[in-house]
C-alpha cells in the first residue's frame, strides 16, 4: 500500500472518526431537544468557536513549529508558549463573556454561552501542539477519540428532554478535560525540561510572532460561524436551531475537503520548488477534479436534503431541509477555495492570503448582517454562499498572479451541469434516493463530455498517486 494511501487511511480513522462521532452526538442532542433548545446549543458553540480562535491566534501552529525545532534553535520556550496560551484564553473568556451578556438579554441563552466558554480553559491546557511537534500524532488521535466517545455516551445517559440543554456544554467540558489528562499522563515530564514560567514581555513577543499566522484563520472562520448568532439576535433561537442542524451536515461533508487537500496539496511546495511548469499542470488537474467532485457532492446533498434531514434529525427539523438544499452548495465553493488559499500559503504568499481573507471578512460580515436583517433565514443562506464565492474569487485573483490557471470555464460548465440536473431532479416526482442514483452517473459523464475533467487529468492523478 502506497504512502499516501496509508496517510489517507490514517486521516479517516483519526480525524474523520472524531468528527463522525461528534456529529452523531450533535444529531442525538438535536433530536432530544426541540429546535429552540438546539438553537441555544448552536449559538453557544459558535461563541465557543470565536473564543477558541481568539485564544489561539496561531499559538498552536507556533508551538508546533518551535517544538519541531532543535532545542538550541528555539526562539521561544515551550513553557512561554504554554503560559501565553493561558493568558490569551483568559482574555478571550472575559471578552466573549461580555459579548454574550450584551447581545443576549435572555438569561438561559447567556448561561449556555458561558458554560460553553468554559472549554476555552480546556483548549489552553491541551498540549496537542507539543505532541504534533515531536511527531506523536497517534497520542493526539487517541485523546480526541476517547474524548468524543465519552461525550457521546454521556449525552445519551444524561440528556433526556429539552430541559437538559444546559447539560450539553458541561458534558462537553468534562469530556474535553479527559483528553487533557490523557496527554498530561503521556507527557515526558522528566526529559522535556518543562518549567512553567510567565513573563508579560515574552508573552507579548510570542503573540506578535503568532498573530500573522493566526489572523488569517481567525478572519476566515469568523464569518462561517456568524450566521447562528445573527439569527439569534435578529429572529430567535428556533431559526438558529434549524440553520445549525443543516450546517452541521455541511461541515461533516467537508471532511472530504480536508482529506483531499491534505493528500494532493501537501506535495505542492515541493513540486513548486522543483518545477513551476509541473506545478501549474498538477494544480490545473487538481482544479478540474475538485470542481467536478465538489459540485457532485453538493448536488447529491441538495437533491437528498429532505431525506437526509428526516433520517438524521427527524420530522421536527423539516424546515432544515430547505436550508440544506441551499447551503449544500457551500461545499463546492469551499473545496475550490481550499486550492487557491492553500496555494498562496504553499508558495509563501502569506500576506496576500491575509489581504484576501481580510477583504472577504469585511464583505461577508456586511452581507450576513444586511441580508439576514432584510430577508431572514433565506437571506442568511444566500449571504453564506455569496460570501464564500467572493472569498474564493479573491483568493483566485491573488493566486493568479503567480500561477495562471484555467478556472472560470470549468467552473461555469460544472455550474450549468449541476444546476440543470438539480432543477430536473427537483421537478421530477421521484424519491430523493432515486434522483441521486440517476444524478451521479449522468453528472460524471457530462463533466467528461464537457471537458471539465479530461483523460489527461485522470492519467496525471493516477501517476502522481502511484508515485507516492
Domain ranges of the chain: 15-222, 225-468
Q: What would the grid cell of residue 134 be?
A: 515531536
**96, 52 Cβ separation under 8 angstroms:** no
**If we measure between CA atoms, which residue out of 97, 87, 368 comes closest to residue 210?**
87
What is the DSSP code string of 303-350?
Answer: HTHHHHHHHHH-GGGTTHHHHHHHHTTHHHHHHHHHHHHHHHHHTT-H
Q: What would the grid cell of residue 104 be?
A: 443576549
Neighbouring CB atoms inside 10 A of 134's CB total 13
- Kind and range of the H or E element at 267? none
pLDDT number for residue 390: 92
The torsion defined by the Cα of 250, 256, 259 and 261, in degrees rounded to 10, comes to -90
Length of the chain: 468
Q: What span, in angstroms and rounded, lies between the C-alpha atoms of 330 and 383?
A: 11
Angle of CA points 166, 153, 24, to nearest 5°? 85
Q: Which residues of 194-233 are buried (b: 16+ CB within 10 A; e: fewer)?
A: beeeeeeebbeebbebbeebbbbebbbbbbbbbbbbbbbe
Q: What span, in angstroms and rounded, lies between the C-alpha atoms of 320 and 313?
A: 9
pLDDT number for residue 131: 83
**If we measure between CA atoms, which residue out of 80, 78, 98 comes closest to residue 88?**
80
As averages over each run of 10 residues, the pLDDT of the chain (468 residues) reads 50 73 93 91 91 85 74 75 89 91 81 93 87 77 91 95 92 94 84 68 79 73 85 90 94 78 64 76 87 94 94 91 95 91 79 85 91 93 93 91 88 95 90 90 93 80 60
Q: What would the grid cell of residue 379 be?
A: 437571506
**425, 307 Cβ separation under 8 angstroms:** no
- Calculate Rg over the CA atoms of the chain: 23
In the chain, what's the furthest Cα-to-Cα distance?
69
Q: Which three-class secondary structure string do you get for 211-223?
A: HHHHHHHHHHHHC
Amino acid at each position: 500500500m502506497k504512502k499516501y494511501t496509508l496517510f489517507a487511511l490514517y486521516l479517516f480513522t483519526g480525524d474523520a472518526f472524531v468528527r463522525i462521532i461528534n456529529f452523531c452526538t450533535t444529531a442525538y442532542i438535536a433530536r432530544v431537544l426541540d429546535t429552540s433548545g438546539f438553537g441555544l446549543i448552536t449559538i453557544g458553540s459558535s461563541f465557543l468557536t470565536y473564543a477558541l480562535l481568539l485564544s489561539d491566534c496561531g499559538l498552536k501552529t507556533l508551538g508546533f513549529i518551535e517544538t519541531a525545532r532543535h532545542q538550541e534553535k528555539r526562539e521561544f520556550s515551550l513553557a512561554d508558549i504554554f503560559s501565553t496560551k493561558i493568558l490569551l484564553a483568559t482574555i478571550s473568556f472575559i471578552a466573549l463573556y461580555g459579548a454574550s451578556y450584551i447581545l443576549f438579554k435572555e438569561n438561559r441563552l447567556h448561561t449556555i454561552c458561558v458554560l460553553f466558554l468554559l472549554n476555552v480553559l480546556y483548549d489552553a491546557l491541551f498540549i496537542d501542539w507539543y505532541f504534533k511537534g515531536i511527531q506523536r500524532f497517534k497520542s493526539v488521535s487517541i485523546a480526541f477519540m476517547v474524548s468524543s466517545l465519552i461525550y457521546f455516551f454521556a449525552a445519551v445517559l444524561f440528556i433526556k428532554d429539552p430541559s437538559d440543554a444546559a447539560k450539553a456544554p458541561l458534558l462537553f467540558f468534562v469530556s474535553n478535560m479527559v483528553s487533557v489528562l490523557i496527554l498530561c499522563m503521556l507527557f515526558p515530564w522528566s526529559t522535556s525540561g518543562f518549567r512553567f514560567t510567565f513573563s508579560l514581555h515574552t508573552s507579548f513577543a510570542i503573540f506578535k510572532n503568532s498573530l500573522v499566522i493566526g489572523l488569517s484563520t481567525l478572519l476566515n472562520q469568523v464569518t462561517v460561524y456568524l450566521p447562528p448568532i445573527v439569527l439569534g439576535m435578529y429572529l430567535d433561537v428556533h431559526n438558529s436551531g434549524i440553520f445549525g442542524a443543516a450546517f452541521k451536515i455541511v461541515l461533516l461533508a467537508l471532511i472530504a475537503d480536508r482529506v483531499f487537500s491534505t493528500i494532493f496539496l501537501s506535495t505542492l511546495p515541493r513540486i513548486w520548488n522543483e518545477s513551476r511548469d509541473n506545478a501549474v499542470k498538477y494544480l490545473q488537474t487538481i482544479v478540474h477534479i475538485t470542481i467536478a467532485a465538489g459540485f457532485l457532492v453538493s448536488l447529491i446533498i441538495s437533491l437528498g436534503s429532505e431525506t437526509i434531514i428526516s433520517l438524521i434529525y427527524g420530522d421536527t427539523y423539516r424546515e432544515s431541509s430547505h436550508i440544506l438544499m441551499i447551503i449544500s452548495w457551500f461545499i463546492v465553493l469551499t473545496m475550490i477555495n481550499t486550492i487557491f488559499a492553500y496555494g498562496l500559503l504553499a508558495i509563501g504568499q502569506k500576506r496576500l492570503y491575509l489581504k484576501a481573507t481580510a477583504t472577504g471578512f469585511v464583505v461577508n460580515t456586511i452581507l450576513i448582517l444586511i441580508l439576514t436583517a432584510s430577508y431572514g433565514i433565506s437571506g442568511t443562506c444566500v449571504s453564506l454562499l455569496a460570501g464564500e464565492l467572493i472569498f474564493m474569487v479573491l483568493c483566485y485573483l491573488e493566486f493568479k498572479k503567480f500561477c495562471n490557471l484555467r478556472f472560470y470555464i470549468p467552473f461555469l460548465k460544472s455550474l450549468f451541469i449541476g444546476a440543470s440536473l438539480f432543477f430536473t431532479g427537483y421537478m421530477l416526482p421521484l424519491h430523493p434516493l432515486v434522483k441521486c442514483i440517476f444524478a451521479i452517473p449522468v453528472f460524471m459523464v457530462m463533466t467528461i463530455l464537457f471537458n471539465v475533467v479530461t483523460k489527461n487529468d485522470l492519467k496525471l492523478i493516477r501517476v502522481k498517486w502511484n508515485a507516492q
